[in-house]
């Protein structure tokens, strides 16, 4: 079924990138199923963008959407009262097991404490050269392509983001073949997991979909399980952690009370989480950022001028990134319009009152960066791509809590600093090497499953500067 899209055009001098045309009214149970089968954002209706709180019932689930900022704050800060929903945990299980993204309660708090050191400032500094190497390898791949034809940047951004994670986790680059394997396997995982979730929401059997998602997850694990095993065996045998990377930090981590290290299964869960949460999201954001820059020639020009002024052709350093506010704003604005994690589902753990509604235990309460970040109450011209809005001091205070692409509260993304540094390195490296142009008539279509991705990729022209 073809799904309507609007945007992808300039309106009153501002570029409005594509998004699904909201339905005038809430869909019926049947149409919610049909539309949600492929993408959550295609179920939304006009009022979804402005209502303070919404309610949806399916045969298998009672779901609320909380858009009002004080409610959002309450839900996101209370990690015991509103844990990750068990349906999400079940969906993600084959890919990430019981790890920091899916765990709840004290178990989560312990895991978070154990992985935090891998993402602290000093560790971030060590990742910068690896990000630069991955960005340089990306430039070489683009150079080797036929530049007379449009290039689909979606697999390219998946490759570079997976390469960044691979290098920072394991201190080795990702091969071309493994990058393709991961791109295909994760797309399969998302499709099957989405179908299995929809069927569960409607209290129907998950048919073969859950099983297929398990197979796709096993393909992803196959890319790095042997590396984790080899490094762990060597550490156990000789005490040698190997290169100082994220895996070394995870092997070194100890349970704060028992002093126990992560087992192999635990390590595979954390590594898979970091790998998937860390590359899918960044790849999505980078693809949309390049698309918006390709459509917005003037923003692309000033962003490039900034990079050339601050870094020229020298290796990009952390202090240079701090002096690239335009690049930073482009990334922020992309995350506002296309938050890779568009919905964050939580479970109500005890009877709770929210506005005029009484929520029962087991209900799902969803916080949606997609809706909050496109709400006209918080953002002027909310669907337009306008990076400079982040320079407006008035907007800065007003919208601080209405920008949450990395989540909020104690469970905020552990990799936010990592992703911000990575995006700056990749965007700056590409912009100083290439000019990017959109392909007339080729408007990408966002679809949201576990993450938000362009349905048929993003095709762009690259030319060497
Ligand atoms: C643009 C890139 C990224 C975006 C938009 C993003 C977004 C998010 C969001 C929204 C959450 C919270 C989900 C929730 O509360 O339900 C989250 C959690 C997480 N992210 Fe990211 N992320 C990005 C990059 C990364 C990177 C690069 C890594 C690791 C290298 C990472 C690792 C994690 C982990 C481990 C968690 C779970 C944290 C916890 O529950 O304690 N993310 N991310």
Token pair in block for residue 406 = 């990395």
pTM of the model: 0.94
**How many angstroms separate the Cα of 455 from the Cα of each of 9, 287, 367, 404, 451?**
18, 12, 23, 23, 11
Radius of gyration of the chain (CA): 22
Q: Could you give the 3-state DSSP secondary structure of residue 232?
A: helix
Is 303 inside a domain boundary? yes
Is 83 inside a domain boundary? yes
Residue 332 burial by Cβ neighbours in a 10 Å radius (0-12, 13-18, 19+): middle
User: pLDDT at residue 93 above 70?
Assistant: yes
What is the position in ligand 1's atom list of the atom closest to the CA of 273? 35
For ligand 1, atom 24, name the residue with the nearest CA.
Answer: 278
Cα 419 off chain centre by: 9
User: pLDDT at residue 32 above 70?
Assistant: no
Is 21 inside a domain boundary? yes
Q: What is the pLDDT of residue 203?
A: 75
Ligand 1 centroid distance, CA of 436 (Å)? 28
Token pair in block for residue 14 = 């501002």
What is the position in ligand 1's atom list of the atom closest to the CA of 279? 27
Task: List, in sequence order, every residue forming a beta bridge with 88; answer none if it has no partner.
Answer: none
Is 451 inside a domain boundary? yes
Ligand 1 centroid distance, CA of 238 (Å)? 33
465 Cβ neighbours under 8 A, 6+ residues apart: 432, 433, 434, 435
Q: How far apart are CA 339 and CA 3, in angstroms?
A: 20
> Residue 81: which CATH number?
1.10.630.10
Tell me the pLDDT tens digit for each residue of 56-76: 888 878 999 999 999 999 999
Is 1 inside a domain boundary? no
Q: What is the pLDDT of residue 2?
A: 41
Q: To test ligand 1's pocket by mutation, which of 415, 419, 450 has the most ligand atoms within 8 angstroms of CB?
A: 415
Q: What is the pLDDT of residue 358?
A: 95
Q: What is the pLDDT of residue 4?
A: 56
Ligand 1 centroid distance, CA of 405 (Å)? 9
**How many angstroms separate the Cα of 186 from the Cα of each of 84, 92, 247?**
21, 12, 21
Q: Strands 61-66 and 364-367, how do they pair?
A: parallel
**How many angstroms separate the Cα of 253 from the Cα of each of 131, 256, 263, 384?**
24, 9, 11, 44
Ligand 1 centroid distance, CA of 406 (Å)? 6
The distance in angstroms from the start CA to the end CA of the chain is: 41
Asked which of 37-46, 318-327, 387-396, 402-411 is least confident by mean pLDDT, the reply is: 37-46
What is the position in ligand 1's atom list of the atom closest to the CA of 369? 10
User: pLDDT at residue 384 above 60?
Assistant: yes
Is 219 inside a domain boundary? yes
Q: Which of 326, 296, 295 is nearest to 310 (CA)?
A: 326
Q: Could you give the 3-state DSSP secondary structure of residue 164?
A: helix
Contact residues of ligand 1, CB 6 A cut-off: 100-101, 112, 273-274, 277-278, 281-282, 285, 335, 340-341, 344, 405-407, 411, 413-415, 418-419
Q: Are 92 and 356 in contact (CB under 8 A)?
A: no
For ligand 1, atom 30, name the residue with the nearest CA.
Answer: 278
- DSSP letter string over 59-103? TTEEEEEE-SHHHHHHHHH-TTTSPBPHHHHHHHHHHH-SSTTT-
Supply φ then ψ for residue 57, to 5 degrees: -120, 135
Q: Could you give the 3-state DSSP secondary structure of residue 149?
A: coil
Place of tokens 């196959």: 222
Token pair in block for residue 165 = 């994670």
What is the position in ligand 1's atom list of the atom closest to the CA of 340? 5
Ligand 1 centroid distance, CA of 372 (Å)? 18
Q: To test ligand 1's pocket by mutation, which of 277, 338, 410 has the most ligand atoms within 8 angstroms of CB?
A: 277
Domain count within the chain: 1
Cα 41 off chain centre by: 15
Q: What is the pLDDT of residue 1?
A: 41
Ligand 1 centroid distance, CA of 104 (Å)? 15
Ligand 1 centroid distance, CA of 194 (Å)? 19
User: pLDDT at residue 405 above 70?
Assistant: yes
| Domain encompassing residue 437 | 9-464
Q: What is the pLDDT of residue 314?
A: 97
What is the position in ligand 1's atom list of the atom closest to the CA of 274? 29
For ligand 1, atom 27, name the residue with the nearest CA.
Answer: 278
Is 3 inside a domain boundary? no
What is the position in ligand 1's atom list of the atom closest to the CA of 112? 41
Is 194 inside a domain boundary? yes
């Amino acid at each position: 079924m073809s799904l309507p899209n609007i945007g992808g055009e300039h309106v009153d001098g501002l570029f409005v990138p594509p998004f699904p045309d909201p339905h005038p009214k809430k869909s019926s149970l049947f149409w919610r199923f049909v539309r949600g089968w492929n993408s959550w954002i295609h179920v939304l209706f006009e009022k979804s963008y402005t209502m303070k709180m919404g309610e949806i019932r399916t045969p298998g689930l009672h779901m609320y959407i909380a858009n009002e900022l004080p409610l959002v704050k309450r839900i996101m800060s209370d990690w015991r009262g509103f844990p990750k929903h068990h349906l999400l945990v079940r969906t993600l299980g084959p890919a990430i097991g019981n790890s920091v993204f899916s765990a709840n309660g004290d178990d989560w708090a312990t895991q978070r404490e154990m992985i935090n050191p891998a993402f602290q400032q000093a560790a971030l500094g060590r990742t910068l050269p690896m990000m630069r190497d991955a960005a340089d390898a990306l430039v070489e791949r683009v150079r080797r392509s036929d530049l007379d034809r449009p290039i689909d940047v979606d697999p390219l951004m998946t490759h570079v983001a997976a390469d960044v994670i691979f290098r920072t986790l394991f201190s080795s680059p990702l091969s071309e073949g493994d990058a393709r394997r991961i791109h295909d396997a994760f797309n399969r995982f998302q499709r099957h997991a989405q179908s299995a979730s929809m069927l569960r929401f409607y209290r129907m059997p998950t048919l073969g979909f859950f099983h297929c998602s398990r197979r796709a997850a096993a393909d992803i694990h196959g890319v790095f399980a042997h590396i984790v095993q080899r490094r762990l065996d060597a550490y156990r045998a000789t005490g040698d952690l190997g290169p100082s990377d994220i895996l070394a930090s995870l092997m070194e981590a100890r349970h704060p009370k028992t002093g126990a290290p992560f087992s192999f299964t635990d390590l595979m869960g954390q590594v898979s989480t970091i790998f998937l949460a860390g590359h899918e999201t960044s790849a999505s954001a980078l693809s949309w950022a390049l698309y918006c820059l390709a459509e917005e020639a003037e923003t692309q020009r000033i962003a490039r001028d900034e990079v050339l002024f601050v870094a020229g052709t020298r290796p990009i350093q952390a202090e240079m990134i701090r002096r690239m506010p335009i690049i930073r704003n482009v990334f922020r604005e992309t995350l506002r319009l296309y938050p890779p994690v568009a919905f964050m589902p939580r479970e109500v753990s005890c009877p709770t009152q929210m506005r005029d509604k009484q929520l029962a235990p087991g209900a799902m309460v969803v916080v949606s960066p997609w809706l909050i970040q496109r709400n006209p109450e918080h953002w002027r011209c909310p669907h337009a791509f306008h990076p400079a809005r982040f320079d407006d001091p008035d907007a800065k205070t007003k919208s601080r809590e209405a920008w949450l692409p990395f989540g909020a509260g104690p469970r905020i993304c552990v990799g936010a600093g990592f992703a911000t540094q990575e995006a700056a390195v990749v965007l700056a490296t590409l912009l100083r090497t290439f000019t990017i142009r959109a392909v007339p008539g080729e408007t990408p279509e966002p679809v949201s499953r576990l993450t938000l991705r362009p349905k048929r990729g993003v095709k762009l022209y690259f030319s060497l500067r």
